[in-house]
Structure 1
Amino acid sequence: MPSVFRAPFPSDSHELYDSGVGDGRGYWEDDAYIGRAPVGPTMPESAKKMIEPQEAYTKALKQRFLEMREKMHSSPDEAALATLDKKFPMTFNTSDKKAYASWHRVLMTTTPHPAQIQSLDVDVVGKLLKLIMDLCLVREELLAETTSVWIWSLLARLDDVGTMNNDEVYAIREFGKKAVLVQVSMHDPEAAALLEQAQRDAEAEHVFTNGSAAGVVANGHELADEIDKSHSQKPDLDSPGAVSTLATLDMILAIVGELFGQRDLLEFRRQWEVAEDKADRSIESAAHDYG
């Protein structure tokens, strides 16, 4: 046997002291053994705070709406305006009952032209939104895609909420509340019926100082009652029409709540279920169409 015994040299490369690669050793600190942190790329703290899909959608929707509002408040192109015929009306005579049926047909079947919306007087916009609220936002009824485009365009044509008077703010709030009612009816028709009765009782107590506005309410309710009698059965929520309608209702609540000061209505927005990405994609595509 040799007179001197020697332990084998360590196989660890000195490079690990510089690079840390392959160094799985820990260290002692304050009487505790602490393992080495894994070597590799680390995620920045800012990236760890992932934004929720619905929050991202709302942010993008608000930006699109503000861009649309700026566009709808600019002067209409004269050349485009000259090409519009009687199929693109720009006035609303509230004393003529035939005007309600005519506008109802337009709101259901004719996509609005940008120059047409830009030419509408703000008072006319308010009357059209009231007409949509009475004749189109109906319990358990699906919205036509054309009507959804009208809603988006008319909301964008309204002035900033800071410049509105009390009656105008009241009207836009009622529009948002009606969207809540229709949304509830898609999921729970009985609860929606009770909610609608409560809203009608509250509306009966509201006094309109504008005679023409009172006319819109009277004539609108007559037609709305006729439509209400012909309700269809509860729609299939997975159908394209139902998905589009729910997306429009969610858009109304988001815009009225976020940009018209009715933030309490935001509580009625249904939270997205991330697993059901099919509905999410449909809503996102609807937001793209609105833009």
Structure 2
Amino acid sequence: MTGPAKIAKPSGMKGEIKMVTSASNPAIKLVRALEDKKHRRETGLFLAEGLRTALAAAEQGRLPKTLIYSDELAEHGKLKPFLARCLNAGVECIMAGRQAMEKISRRDNPQGVIGVYEARLTALDDIPAQTGDCVIGLQMVRDPGNLGTILRTADAVGAAGIVLIDDCCDPFSIEAVRASMGSIFAVRLGKSGFAEFEALCRKRNGQMVGTSLRASQDYRKPDYTKAPTFLLMGNEQAGLPEAYENACDARVRIPMRGTADSLNLAVATAILLYEINRKSL
């Protein structure tokens, strides 16, 4: 079978479900193409794997444009009401065989649910920042796993948003989305140059706090309660450019007692975010 076949419409559902068994099906090929950054950019779409992620997106009011699920999960208790919601909203729903699911995910043990979603970015002016809030600026982050983990942490602490500064990795890559565990749908995400990020900070009467190995101030010292905090984190290898550091109102560092002189970017960001959150409670 190369074309999708329609299967019986479930009781109470408005839409129809297509059945795909072949990995060479055009619908499967189209979804697989979204693994490529160029295709994501051209279509404005991205992939998110897993039922948990799909349910997290739905809680944020985000339903996929296309939902593909394994025939092995057809009777899953949590999938059935979600499937009904998607069908009633006009989402294209495809039930796929194991071979087709493996082709999409490129895994021997693929996730049973894959959604195709619209990639959305937030305009900088739509990112709120009040006293006690934190906006995270990530400059030249290159590792999608780090970016996804930071998205998840930002969601956990209720950060006001994340701004990707300069040439960062794609937040809608499979690796970043997977690491975010659904938080890609919950956190406001914008892109800008540094000048625009700094202008937003000044417009919100915020304080810009940058991390630096050259800083002498402990990250626990600043007062994070009197103004919105714009936390600026640098590239994994190079850190922040000197000009960006000089524009900060405060430069801080995480003290090291061992031989390591730095931490993983996602870990360091989490430490700062929880300290800002602790003082703002």
User: Which one has more relative contact order, counting CA pairs under 8 Å at least 6 apart?
Assistant: 1
Structure 1 or 2, whichever has the larger Rg, is 1
TM score, norm. by length of structure 2:
0.27
More strand by percentage = 2
More helix by percentage = 1
